[in-house]
Amino acid sequence: MNRPASIRTAVEARLARRHRAERRFQFYGAAAICLAVAFLALLIGSILIQSVPAMTTWRMTLQVELDRAAIDPRGDMSEASLRRGGYNAAIQQALRDQFPDVEDRAELRELFGLYSSVNAARLLNRVVQDPSLVGGTVSFTFPIDDDADLYLKGVSVRESRAPGPAPVRIQAGEGRAVTLSAEARVFDAFVDDVREAARERARILEQRAERAEAALADAIDRDIRAIYEAEARRARAQAERLRDRLDEGAPVVIGPQIPSLLVQVDGAVIRVSDVSADRRSARGEMVISAPLGEAAHSDWTLWTIETPQAGRLISDRQIAWVDALRERGMTRSGFNTELFTYADSREPELAGVLGALIGSVLTMFVTMLLAVPIGVGAAIYLEEFAPKNRITQLIEVNINNLAAVPSIVFGLLGLAVFINTFGLPRSAPLVGGIVLALMTLPTVIISSRAALKAVPPSIREAALGVGASKTQAVFHHVLPLAAPGILTGSIIGLAQALGETAPLLMIGMVAFIADAPSLGLAGFTEPSTVMPVQIFLWSSAAERAFEARTAAAILVLLTLMVSLNAAAIYLRRRFERRW
C-alpha cells in the first residue's frame, strides 16, 4: 500500500515553493511596518533638521546714546513726552557711528535694513520704565534682520575666501571709487568661474530654443506656432547675448546675475564692479573705508559671494557690514527666546508663538468646557437611561456618522450658524472653541460610552439591590468607576482638537494678529489665532526665515500634543481597572 508515500511526495514537491511564498508574505508585512516607521522617522527628522536654524538667533548690541532733546521732546520727563521720543533715530545714529562713511540715502536705507524699526518700541518701553536712562548711553541688544541672521548662520548665502595670490596696488579715485591693479593675473580664478557658469546657462538656453523649434515644426494651429516662435527667438537672443559676454577680450562686469567679488585689505572692504580683460586690474568702491596708502599690499583676501545678488535678499554691502559687526564683536548668537515670548510679526526675527499659544489655550478651554460635560452627559444617557427604541438608535447612528464628517464641514457650520446667524465675533477663541467642541463631541461620547460599558453590570445591580435609584446608582457607583476611562477619552479628543486647523480657517482665525490676546474673560472674544493655524500661516509666508520658525512651531505643537497624550496614557495606566 503506497498511499502515505504518495501524499508525502506530492506535498514535499511543493513544500519549498510554499515556504518561499510564506517568507515573501512575511517580508511584505515587515516591510509595510518598516515603511510606516520610516515615514514617521523621516517626518520628525526633517522637521527637527529644518527647525535647527530657528533655535538660535543673532542679536546686535549697540551703544545707543539717548539724547535728552530727542528722547524727551517736551522736556518735562512725563510719560507722554517720553513716548514721543525719537528712539529709532537714536538706534540709527548708533549704527551710523559704526560706519561713518555711509552717506548716500539709498546706502543708509540698506544699512538700516539690518534691523527692524519695531525694535525701537522695546527701547521706548525700557526708557519709560526707567526714565533715568535719558541723557546717558544704554547698551541695547536686539535681534538682527532675518536675512542677515540667515547669512550669519551660513544657510542662505554661499561664499568663499581665498588669500590674494600676488601683491595688489590700490589707487583711490573720486569719492570712494578705487582701482586695483596687480602684476599677476590675480582675478583669474574668479573670471574663469564666472565664464564657466555663463557658458552653462547659454547652453541651457540654446537647448530650450531647440526644443521650441522642434515643437514649432509639429504645431499646426496658427496661435500655437506664434507662441513657439516667440519662445525660440527669445531663448536664442538671450543665449547670443551671453556668448557675446563670454568673449575673451571683454571685461567682466559684475551684475546681479553673477557672483559678487569683494576684496578685504587692511580693514577695508572693496566691492569690485568690473574686472578688466587682462584679469590683472579691477575697479570698485570702498564699502568700509580705511586708509590704504600707495604701497602694494601682499596680505589681502579675495572674498567671493557665490550666490548672485539676484538669488539672495541681503546685498553685498549688508554682507560686508554684518561681517564687520561680527568682527567687532557686536553681534552674538544665542537661544531664540523671542520665539516663545513674542506674538506674531511680519518680521521673522520678531515673530513668536506666544499669541498662538494663548489663543490655543483659550480655545481649548471653551472646547473642554462644552465637549466634556455634554459628551459625558450624552454618553450616560445613551448607555444608562435611554430606552432601546428607534430614536435612540437614530442618535447612535448619527453620532457614529458625525465622528467621520470632515472637519472642514464643522467650520462651515460655525461660519453659517454662529457667526452669520448668531452674530458671534469672527476670529474669536469663543467660536473656535464651540466649533471644535462640536467636532470633538462624538469622540468624547464614544469613548465615554466604552468606559461606562466596561463597568460590569454587577455594580449597578448591587447598588439597585440596596435600594438606590437608577440615578443614584449611576452617579454614585458607575460614574466614579468609569471616570478614568472618560478622562482618557476626553484628553485624547482635546489633543485632536488642539491639532485641528481646517475648521478654524472657515471662521476667520487665519488673520494676522500681532498682539497676543489677553488671558482673561475678554480674550475669548478678541481676534486671535491658534498654534496649528499659526503654523499654516508661517508655512505660506514668503520670508525664508519663517521656514525654520514653522518647523520650530511644529515642534512646540507636537510637544504639547505628546504631553497631553502622555497624560492620557499615564491616567489609563494609573487608574485602569480590569474586571
Partner 1 sequence: MAYDAQPAPATVYHPAPAGMNIKVAASDLSVRYGGALALDRVAMDIPDRSVTACIGPSGCGKSTFLRCINRMNDTIETARVSGSIRIDGEEVNDRSIDPVLLRARVGMVFQKPNPFPKSIYENVAYGPRIHGLAASKDELDAIVETSLTKAGLWKEVADRLHQPGTSLSGGQQQRLVIARAIAVNPEVILMDEPCSALDPIATARIEELIDELRENYALIIVTHSMAQAARVSQMTAFFHLGALVEYGPTEEIFTNPRDQRTQDYITGRFG
Partner 2 sequence: MQISVLVALTLLVLIAFGFLTGRRRALSVRAQGGPRLHSLPNYYGYYIALWTGGPALVLLAAYGAFGSGLVNTLAMSQLEREAAPLIAEFERQLDADAQIIALLEEAAEADADAMEAREAITRARDSGLDPQAFQGALAGHTTRLTEIGARLDQRRGEIARSVAARAPSSDAGIRARSGFEFWNSPRERRELFLADARAIAFGEGLASRNTPELRAAALAMRPVEDIFRWSVAALVLSMAVGGLAWGRSRVKASFRARNRVEAAISGLLMFASIIAILTTLGIVFSLLFESLRFFASIGWRVGDFLFGLQWSPQIAIRADQIGQSGAFGAAPLFAGTALITVIAMSVAVPVGLFSAIYMSEYASKRVRAVAKPILEVLAGVPTVVYGFFALLTVGPFLRDFALFLGYEDAVTQSALSAGLVMGVMIIPFVSSLSDDVINAVPQSLRDGAYAMGATKSETIRHVVLPAALPGIVGAVLLGVSRAIGETMIVVMAAGQGANLTANPLESVTTITVQIVTLLTGDQEFDSSKTLAAFALGLVLFVLTLMLNIIALRVVQRFRERYE
Site string for partner 2, 208-247 (x = CB under 8 A): -------x---xxx-xx-xx--x-----------------
Type of residue at 85: G
117 binds, among partner 2, partner 1, none (CB under 5 to 8 A by kind): none
Backbone torsion region of residue 175, taken as left when φ is above 0, otherwise alpha when ψ lies between -120 and 50, otherwise beta: left
Per CB under 8 A, residues contacting partner 1 are 3-4, 7-8, 10-15, 18-19
Interacting span for partner 2 (CB under 8 A) from 167-175, 198-206, 333-341, 496-504: 496-504
Interface characters, 40-59, with partner 2 (x: CB under 8 A): x-xx--xx--x---------
Phi, psi dihedral angles at 565 (to 5 degrees): -65, -35
In angstroms, the CA 263 to CA 5 distance is 91
The dihedrals phi and psi of 14, each to the nearest 5 degrees, come to -100, -5
Closest distance to partner 2 from the beta carbon of 29 (Å): 3
Q: Does 32 bind partner 2 (CB under 8 A)?
A: yes
Q: Is residue 524 near partner 2 by the rule CB under 8 A?
A: no
- The distance of closest approach from Cβ of residue 22 to partner 1 in the complex, given in angstroms and rounded to an integer, is 9
The item of partner 2, partner 1, none sharing an interface with residue 536, based on CB under 5 to 8 Å by kind, is partner 2
| Backbone dihedral angles phi then psi of residue 169, each to the nearest 5 degrees | -110, 135
Number of residues that bind partner 2 (CB under 8 A): 104
Please tell me what DSSP assigns to residue 177.
Answer: E
Q: Which three cell numbers stand for residue 393?
A: 438608535
Binding partner of 46, given partner 2, partner 1, none, CB within 5-8 angstroms per partner class: partner 2
Smallest gap from residue 15 Cβ to partner 1 (A): 6
Q: Which does 8 bind (CB under 5 to 8 A by kind): partner 2, partner 1, none?
A: partner 1
Alpha-carbon distances of 560 from 291, 358, 359, 484, rounded to whole Å = 57, 13, 14, 21
Give the nearest distance from C-beta 25 to partner 1 in angstroms: 14
Q: Which is nearer to partner 2, 417 or 450 (CB)?
A: 417
Q: Which of positions 410-469 make contact with partner 2 (CB under 8 A)? A: 410, 412-413, 415-417, 420, 422-423, 425-426, 438, 441-442, 445, 469
Residue 326 phi/psi, 5-degree rounding, is -65, -45
Closest Cα partner for 284 from 308, 309, 316, 262? 262
Q: Select the span of 131-139, 330-338, 342-350, 372-380 touching partner 2 (CB under 8 A).
A: 372-380
Q: How far is CA 339 from the centre of its chain?
A: 11
Comparing CB distances to partner 2, the nearer of 177 and 409 is 409
Write down the least CB distance from residue 470 to partner 1, Å: 39
**Beta-bridge partners for 335:** 56
Residue choice 9, 117, 401, 563 for contact with partner 2 (CB under 8 A): 401
Shortest CB 21 distance to partner 2, Å:
6
Q: Which of residues 1-20 bind partner 2 (CB under 8 A)?
A: 11, 18-19
Long-range contacts of range 467-476, CB-CB < 8 Å, 24 or more positions apart? 470/384, 470/385, 474/380, 474/384, 474/385
Cα separation, 417 vs 435, whole angstroms: 10
Minimum distance between the CB of residue 257 and partner 2, rounded to whole angstroms? 21
Distance CA 519, CA 522 (A): 8
Nearest to 308 by CA among 297, 294, 319: 319
Residue range at the interface with partner 2 (CB under 8 A); choices 91-99, 247-255, 317-325, 499-507: 499-507
Output phi, psi for 304, to 5 deg.
Answer: -95, 125
Candidate list 8, 9, 31, 573; residue touching partner 2; CB under 8 A: 31
- 264, 274 in Cβ contact below 8 A? no
The distance from CA 60 to its chain's CA centroid, rounded to whole angstroms, is 22
